[in-house]
Amino acid sequence: MKHLTDLLLLGDPRLYERCEPVTESDLPLVAGWVADLHNVMEEIRATYQFGRGIAAPQLGIMKRLIYLNTTHPEYGGPRVLLNPELTSLSPETDELWDDCMSFPNLLVRVQRHCRLTLTFRDEHWQPHTWTVDDWALAELIQHEYDHLEGVLCTMRAIDAQSFRWRPTPTCS
């Protein structure tokens, strides 16, 4: 089982590599990979109080696999995306302060598309097409998809002033 200490951090060269597709012959490994991703996400949530998705390369698994686990009312709960491909991005964009488990105390101002459509296979190798009209899910999927391409949100910063430290939570 992988843990928070196994998470690749900013500067690790593997985070800048494009991932290989998951193959049908990889399916027996997927459940273990997903369990590792889930475990590390839970440790991030407990430690840093954020985390809705994680991409396999963040744990050194250089495969095109994204694990989402959100509380979104329509799409909440765990979702496994194998070999996702963005097939449509809206022309409308918006800005946000993005965060990343691989550099949990840094926020980066980026621009993301407001809506998207993607195709992917699930953990049972069934094909899906998913149109995401919700901004919070669309930006999350783009962030995780970038990891599969070897792109970090630091590389998408709007300008040189688009970086800040995450505020430290205080007890009230």
Q: Which residues are catalytic?
A: 144
Contact at 8 Å (CB) between 121 and 129?
A: no
Sign of the Cα torsion 131, 85, 64, 115 reads negative
d(CA 147, CA 66): 9
Strands 127-132 vs 93-98: parallel, antiparallel or unpaired: unpaired
Structure tokens at 72: 């979104």
For 147, phi then psi, to 5°, come to -60, -40
Contact 95, 107 (CB under 8 A): no
3-state secondary structure of 117: strand
CA–CA dist 117, 54 (Å, integer): 19
Tokens of 126: 């069934």
